Amino acid sequence: MTELSLCAIGLGSNLGDSSQILMGAIDRLRTHSQIEIISVSSWYLTAPIGPPQPDYLNGCATIRTSLAPLDLLSTLHSIESEFGRVRQEIWGARTLDLDLLLYDNLIIDLPTLQIPHPRMLERAFILVPLAEIAPDAIEPKSGESIATLCNKLEYSGIQLLP
């Protein structure tokens, strides 16, 4: 039997029907033969970072997978492409953004992949939904729980969707 790794993924969208796109991405992950969805957070309306653009819908999911980190990243990029993601501008508007946040307790620093996600500790739009579904998960660089890290941030600009 293949060993499964526990991972966290951030999801975001601010172009098109974002709620439909995010649910479609979850469904697409759910149907992948090497991915098992454990939990999905609520969706949060958040202000964008970067150039002027619409607000985002953001959330997180925890999964188990037999995919290696780079293979999982490739799968996430393929799903983004299926939903019309075009990479033109850093931090620009997008139909779908899937970020690999955590992969077990690994620390990876490659040109194409950094785990834990390099800016997750600064971003309430990642930590708030992740704390909802995995408060006790440990961020491997700091050694602190997601809940503890979330409590260190100001997150008044995040609105839970009903």
The per-residue pLDDT for range 97-123, each reduced to its tens digit, is: 999 999 999 999 999 999 999 889 989
Quick one: average pLDDT of 39-55? 88
Active site residue 123: no
Please tell me the predicted confidence (pLDDT) of residue 108.
97
Of residues 27, 30, 55, 97, which has the active-site annotation?
97
Q: Does the pLDDT at position 93 exceed 80?
A: no
Please tell me the predicted confidence (pLDDT) of residue 86.
65
Please tell me the predicted confidence (pLDDT) of residue 49.
78
Q: Is the omega angle on the peptide bond into residue 135 within 30 degrees of 0, that is, cis? A: no
Active site residue 85: yes
Q: How confident is the model at residue 47 (pLDDT cuts 50, 70, 90)?
A: confident
CATH code: domain 5-160 is 3.30.70.560
For 98, residues 6+ apart whose C-beta sits below 8 A from its C-beta are: 9, 10, 11, 25, 76, 77, 79, 80
Active site residue 99: yes
Of residues 71, 94, 109, 119, which has the active-site annotation?
94
Of residues 28, 85, 87, 136, which has the active-site annotation?
85
Beta-carbon count within 10 A of 127 CB: 26
Percent of the chain with pLDDT over 90: 74
Active site residue 27: no
Burial class (CB in 10 A: 0-12, 13-18, 19+), 129: buried
Lowest-confidence segment of 29-43, 81-95, 141-155 by average pLDDT: 81-95
Q: How confident is the model at residue 95 (pLDDT cuts 50, 70, 90)?
A: confident
Of residues 64, 99, 104, 136, which has the active-site annotation?
99
- List C-alpha distances in Å: 88 to 94, 96, 101: 9, 13, 22
Of the candidates 150, 147, 135, 71, the residue with the CA atom closest to the CA atom of residue 103: 71
**Mean pLDDT over the full length of the chain:** 91
Quick one: average pLDDT of 11-40? 96
pTM of the model: 0.92
Quick one: average pLDDT of 59-68? 98
